[in-house]
Structure 1
Amino acid sequence: MSRRLVVNARYVLALCVLLGVTSYGEDLIREDIVYVDRDGIEVSYDVVPAAEPNGAAVLIMSSGGWFSAKRPVDQVKQGFGFLLDAGYTLVTIRHRSAPDFKVPDAVDDVQLAVRHVRHHANDYRIDPTRMAAMGFSSGGHLTLMIALDSDEGLTSDPDDLVASTPSHVAAAIAYFPPVDLENIVGPSERFPALDFDPSLATSVSPINFADQEDPPVLFLHGTADELVPLQNSVRMHEALTSVDVESQLSVFEGAPHGFRDPAHQERARTEILAFLSSHLGEN
């Protein structure tokens, strides 16, 4: 490297420090980490660390209507910069997507993804006991299935290290989640992932999984949500508190499905940071 380039690099670094520019651990970003290959379909996640990671992580479900696709890292940084700024490493988890795959497939995938992240936590500089799951709508549903239907491992086989890894998370954040699929399962043009065997609906409905071992949950839901009515979060919140699980229900007056009001968004960010600080602890 020439002397001029060295000087210029030092100048840019100094300028970034002075301006408070955040790099978000650019050199440690890992994309398209395959956590399972199902019949030739590779299912993956991305890891986006903070510039100054605190050792905790937020696992974000990339899911809307149980459709799942890769979200560019720049969009992740823009949408969840407040978490990166607070030191949280982000893991954006994808699952097999509608219309070809159904809700039970998505649940199986994201639960396995948690095991994979925990198994490789040291590689990502994450404390596996300080991970939270977060999702919006169908992603909120998957978040709750992760949090409420966890276990110590699917097998004791020492040769299957990922499957034998626990699937626990320390906390969960669910934006406007559907919690009971029994009444909505069936053919749907808008949500084809709901077209699965109705006998399986109970096994993928979070409302059926409240017990004393569940982690703390934060619900964020608007009173004007016509797609997933507020009663979903109310029912789940009441089910959790009835078994002495810490649950926080944050109701947003007049908010529809998806918070478009900047004031609602800012309030949600503030409450999320307080919740994570309380339940993921300090490094």
Structure 2
Amino acid sequence: MRLTVFSTVLAVLSLLAPSLIRAEEVMIKPDVVYGHKFGLATTFDVFTPAQNANGAAVLFMVSGGWYSSWSPPEQIQPRFKPLTDQGFTVFAVRHGSSPRFSIAEAVADVRRSVRFIRLNAEAYQVDPDRIGVFGMSAGGHLSLMLGTASDEGNADSKDPVDQVSDRVQAVVAYVAPTDLRIMAMDAPDRLAAYERFPALEIDANTAEPDSPIVHVTPDDAPTLLLAGAKDELVPISHSRKILVAFEKANVETKLIEFENAGHGFGGEDAKQATDAMVDWFVTHLTEKP
């Protein structure tokens, strides 16, 4: 009985509380539910410039090791400031996490997030034809999957979300795995470090459908790759090989290599990477005059 009363009070308070939180020059809408599975909700936070929004959306894949953590949106808002300052509306997308959920399920989640945002583009005041995505490491992998292996939706689905395309118009992938087959348990040269990641307890056959490099085709989104030459977790060969695949398919692409960086950037490298990321989205998502 006490639990029922407490739940009722929480429900009433949630209806009374404002759905938008103002953080300086950005309006934050937290914990938007874009899907459900096994009784759990998948969510994203929305960061909308209070002024001079340019109508384009940029999705950030909240993922490391295919684990998607939650943080108070006010705490992570500063990392999106370079984008919101340029007028982009940012969506911080969370997916079902390893080890409970597989990489394939994480890919399915982020696909749905794009479909949901496109379906509800008017509510978020964004253009459904100007959606970009970026992420780091596993988040970069998920970004590349959206750039290379998306579709136009299933017109016969009973779910209106699934009827919508999950294609994106621009991708930025930081230190991203591009071929999961060489990270699988049966890969002959598998790095010992991958033993720490339950998501990679897969064989090469299972890994293939979720390897961006096998999906590269001429209709892929323009893609910027950012990689550290000294990365010992995701060697730079991942980015170099998919760069070659993109170039062969005539996909607009660029690789920026950071000579002294490992699996992540600091100092001037971080600034240069952020500037390049923002410029890529400005170039590919901003409406031309």
Shorter-normalised TM range: 0.7 to 0.9
- Mapped contact 2:143–2:171 kept (Cα < 8 A): yes
Q: Distance in 1 between matches of 2:165 and 2:285?
A: 17
Are 2:47 and 1:41 aligned? no
Deviations 1:116-159 (A, max 9, x none): 111111111111111101000000000000111111103433x4
SS at match of 1:269: helix
Asked if structure 1 preserves the Cα contact closer than 8 Å seen for 2:57 and 2:126, the reply is yes
Partner of 2:131: 131
Matched, 1:144 2:122: no
Output the CA distance in 2 between the equivalents of 1:71 and 1:24: 20
Cα-to-partner distance string for 1:24-51 (whole Å, 9 max, x where unaligned): 333xx22111111112111111111112
The one-letter amino acid of 2:287's match is E
Gaps of 5+ in 2: 1-22, 187-193
Report if aligned partners of 1:240, 1:246 keep a CA contact under 8 Å in 2: yes
CA distance in 1, matches of 2:212, 2:110: 14
Cα distance in 2 for residues equivalent to 1:251 and 1:237? 12
Name 1:88's counterpart in structure 2: 88
Look up the SS of the partner of 2:180 in the other structure: coil
The percentage of counterpart residues that share the same residue type is: 39
Secondary structure of the structure 1 residue equivalent to 2:107: helix
How far off is 1:175 after superposition? 0.1
Query: Is the Cα–Cα contact under 8 Å of residues 45 and 92 in structure 2 kept in the other structure?
Result: yes
Q: Contact conserved, 1:102 with 1:195, CA < 8 A, in 2?
A: no
* Superposed displacement of residue 182, structure 1: 0.9
Which of 201, 212, 216 in structure 1 is aligned with 2:218?
Answer: 212
- Which residue identity lines up with residue 283 of structure 2 in the other structure? S
Moved more, 66-75 or 52-61: 66-75
TM score, norm. by length of structure 1: 0.87
1:171: which partner in 2? Answer: 170
Query: 1:39-93 CA deviation, whole Å, 9 max, x = no partner?
Result: 2111111111112211011100000000101232123221121111111111011
The equivalent of 2:276 in structure 1 is 271
Cα shift at 1:238: 0.8
Asked if the contact 2:56–2:88 (Cα under 8 Å) also holds between the matched residues in 1, the reply is yes
Question: C-alpha separation between the residues in 2 aligned to 1:65 and 1:24?
Answer: 32
Structure 1: give runs of 5+ residues left out of the alignment: 1-21
Secondary structure of residue in 2 paired with 1:156: coil
Map residues 18-167 of structure 1 onto 2, 5 A cutoff: 23-26=24-27, 29-52=28-51, 53-157=53-157, 159-167=158-166
